[in-house]
């Protein structure tokens, strides 16, 4: 039985270049060899694929259909070869990534540093920014994002859960009382971080509520410190407050109205084949975050 792949690479090269000589240069073989292979392919298929003239080669209708299938076959073959090569290859070269400042400093950068120690051929550039950078425009390989996702052009992998807690210190609650309904939030001093809109839940549905207070800072750590000092109510992600909720330094409030869980995400541009450096780093971050005490209760 003849090799069923015979003639396919030659046919695609001729179809894409429009000339036997150009196809021969591309494949590094003789024009006569290409001509013989395509003639055998046409004989095997019992179909004319090409119309030959002295200057140009054009595709028959059957040839146009066959070309599309052959190009997909070639892509699949290259994909398979790259995948097998990646299994044996180590991450190397430059990887550019971005993350929010506070979360990146506390969780992501230490894990990236340990990952780099495993792969000395890898170089990493991390841009910590609270702006949502455009990965495609900025030439980034990877972004770590918190909460809800917006950019549908990117592929997302969930790294860790993210729960929001509304809480206050026992000292604050002794002085001002504990809120028992959402309507009572208006009577309390709310410590505002990067936004004065808090995500909450009522009757099983998520909604946004604007809050007011005499203190504001776009730092989660600063909001936490103010709450621990009894200045007001705060809404913060689990990794800021779980330790203090467990110790009793903070008290969880309005738990029935806690918003639906979101997540920590790894985002990367849509590609048919993910590079080893990005794939392995994403796996390493997912495993590393899952082992941290801040996520132990999940």
Confidence band for 1, pLDDT divided at 50, 70 and 90:
very low
The average confidence (pLDDT) of the chain is 87
d(C-alpha 228, C-alpha 118), whole Å: 39
pLDDT of residue 282: 93
Q: From residue 120, how far is each of 162, 189, 275 by CA, in Å?
A: 32, 50, 17
pLDDT of residue 53: 76
> Torsion angle of alpha carbons 143, 144, 145, 149, nearest 10°?
60
Q: CB–CB of 217/193 below 8 Å?
A: yes
Percent share of the chain, pLDDT over 90? 45
**Helix, strand, coil proportions of the chain in percent (round to 5)?**
45, 25, 30
Concatenating the DSSP letter of every residue in 257-298 gives GPPPPEEEEEEEE--SS--HHHHHHHHHHHHHHHTSGGGTT-
Concatenating the DSSP letter of every residue in 158-207 gives EEEEE-EEEEE-HHHHHHH----SGGGGGGS-BPB-S-SEEEEEETTEEE
d(C-alpha 56, C-alpha 76), whole Å: 29
pLDDT of residue 184: 92
Tens of pLDDT along 93-120? 899 999 988 899 999 999 999 999 999 8
Q: CB–CB of 11/76 below 8 Å?
A: no
Tens of pLDDT along 219-272? 899 999 999 999 999 999 988 998 899 999 999 999 999 887 788 999 888 765
pLDDT of residue 117: 92
pLDDT at 284 over 90: yes
Burial class (CB in 10 A: 0-12, 13-18, 19+), 26: middle
Tens of pLDDT along 120-174? 888 999 999 888 877 777 788 999 988 877 666 778 889 998 889 999 999 999 9
Q: CB–CB of 38/60 below 8 Å?
A: no
Of residues 276 and 265, which shows the higher confidence score? 265
Q: From residue 242, how far is each of 220, 249, 258 by CA, in Å?
A: 14, 10, 14
Q: CB–CB of 17/58 below 8 Å?
A: no
Confidence band for 18, pLDDT divided at 50, 70 and 90:
confident
* Nearest C-alpha neighbor of 158 from the set 295, 264, 277: 264
pLDDT at 283 over 90: yes
d(C-alpha 279, C-alpha 122), whole Å: 13
d(C-alpha 291, C-alpha 199), whole Å: 27
């Amino acid at each position: 039985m003849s090799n069923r792949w015979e003639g396919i690479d030659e046919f695609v090269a001729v179809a894409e270049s429009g000339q036997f000589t150009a196809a021969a240069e591309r494949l590094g073989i003789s024009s006569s060899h290409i001509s013989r292979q395509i003639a055998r392919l046409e004989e095997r298929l019992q179909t004319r694929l090409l119309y030959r003239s002295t200057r140009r080669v054009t595709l028959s209708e059957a040839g146009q259909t066959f070309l599309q299938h052959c190009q997909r076959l070639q892509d699949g073959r290259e994909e398979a070869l790259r995948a097998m090569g990646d299994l044996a290859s180590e991450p190397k070269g430059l990887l550019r990534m971005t993350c929010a400042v506070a979360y990146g400093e506390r969780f992501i950068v230490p894990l990236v540093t340990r990952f780099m120690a495993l792969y000395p051929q890898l170089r990493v550039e991390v841009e910590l920014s609270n702006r949502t950078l455009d990965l495609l425009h900025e030439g980034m390989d990877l972004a770590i994002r918190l909460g809800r996702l917006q950019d549908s052009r990117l592929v997302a992998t969930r790294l860790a859960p993210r729960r929001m807690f509304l809480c206050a210190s026992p000292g604050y609650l002794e002085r001002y009382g504990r809120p028992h309904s959402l309507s009572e939030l208006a009577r309390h001093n709310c410590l505002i971080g990067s936004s004065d809109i808090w995500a909450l839940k009522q009757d099983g549905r998520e909604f946004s509520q604007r809050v007011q207070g005499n203190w504001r800072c776009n730092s989660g750590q600063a909001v936490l410190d103010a709450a621990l000092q009894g200045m007001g109510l705060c809404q913060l992600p689990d990794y800021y407050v779980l330790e203090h909720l467990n110790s009793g330094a903070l008290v969880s409030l309005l738990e029935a109205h806690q918003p639906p869980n979101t997540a920590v995400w790894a985002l990367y541009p849509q590609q048919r084949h993910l590079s080893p450096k990005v794939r392995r780093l994403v796996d390493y971050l997912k495993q590393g975050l899952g082992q941290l005490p801040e996520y132990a209760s999940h």
